[in-house]
Amino acid sequence: MNKRILIVDDSFYMRTMLKNMLTDAGYDVVGEAANGQQALEMAVATTPDLITLDVILPDNTGLDVLKGIRQQQPDAKVVMCSAVGQETIVNEAIENGALAYIVKPFSEERVLEIVGSALQGDGSPV
C-alpha cells in the first residue's frame, strides 16, 4: 500500500530529489509546496499520510507552517528538513509535534529510514 506524502521545500532541486527518492521507494508524492501558504492549502487538500517540511520558507518559517498544519490536523505526521545550522528551530519544531528531523544534504537511506519509521509510529517523535 502506498503512503501519501506532501513535500514542502522552497527549492525545486530539493523537492525533485526528495520526490524521486520517495517515489522510487513506492511512496506517492501527492503534492509539492514551495511556500507556507501553499503548504497549508495542500495539506488540507491532499490529506497526506506524512509531510516533509523545510524549516526555512519564503513567506513564513517552517515553524509557523508546522503550527498551522497541527492546528488544522492535530494528527498530521510531519518530518522537518533542514541543512545544519538551524538546530534551534528544529528543536522547537520537535517540541511542537514534528516527528523527526532530516539533515540536508540527505542520503537516500537516511530519508527512507526516517520517513518509514515516522509513518509506522503512533505519532510520537522517533
Partner 1 sequence: MTAREQEYRELFMAEALEYYDAMSRHLSELERNPQDVGALNELFRLMHNLKANARAMGFVDMGEVAHKMETLFGQIRGNERTFTGSLVTLTFRAVDILGNMIRAVGAGQDSADAKPLLENLEQLIQGQEVVEATEAPTEEEADADAARKLELSDLVYIPVKKLDNLLNLVGELVIDRDRILTLAAELGHPALQATARHLFRISDDLQYSVMDVRLVGAGVLLNKFPRVVRDVATAEGKQVELVLAGQDVQIDRNVLQLITDALLHIVRNAVSHGLETPEARQAAGKRATGRLIISALTERDDVLIQVQDDGRGIDTEAVRKKAVRKGMITTEAAAALDEQEVWALLFEPGFSMADKITDISGRGVGLDVVKLAIDSLGGRLRVNSELGKGTTFTLVLPTSIAVKGALLIELDERAYAVPLLHTDTVLALPNDQVFAVGGLLMTHIQEENVPLVPLRQLLYSEGDELLPRATRSDLPTDGSLLQVLVVSYNNRRLGLIIDRFLRQQNIVVKSLSKPLDTIDLFGGVTLLGSGQLCLVLDVPALTRLFLAKRP
Burial class (CB in 10 A: 0-12, 13-18, 19+), 33: buried
Nearer to partner 1, 23 or 117 (CB): 23
Question: Binding string, 15-54, against partner 1, x = CB under 8 A?
Answer: -xx--x--x--x-x--------------------------
CB contact at 8 A, 115 and 79:
yes
When asked if residue 11 is in the footprint of partner 1 (CB under 8 A), the reply is yes
Nearer to partner 1, 16 or 124 (CB): 16
CA distance 93 to 81: 10
Residues near 42 by beta carbon (within 8 Å), at least 6 away in sequence: 6, 31, 33
Distance from C-alpha of 30 to C-alpha of 48, rounded to nearest angstrom: 7
d(CA 115, CA 28): 13
The residue (of 22 and 40) whose beta carbon lies closer to partner 1 is: 22
11-19, 70-78, 93-101, 118-126 -> range binding partner 1 (CB under 8 A): 11-19
User: Among 72, 87, 105, 123, which residue interacts with partner 1 (rule: CB under 8 A)?
Assistant: 105
**What is the contact surface with partner 1 in residues (CB under 8 A)?**
1-2, 4, 10-14, 16-17, 20, 23, 26, 28, 56-58, 82-83, 85-86, 104-106
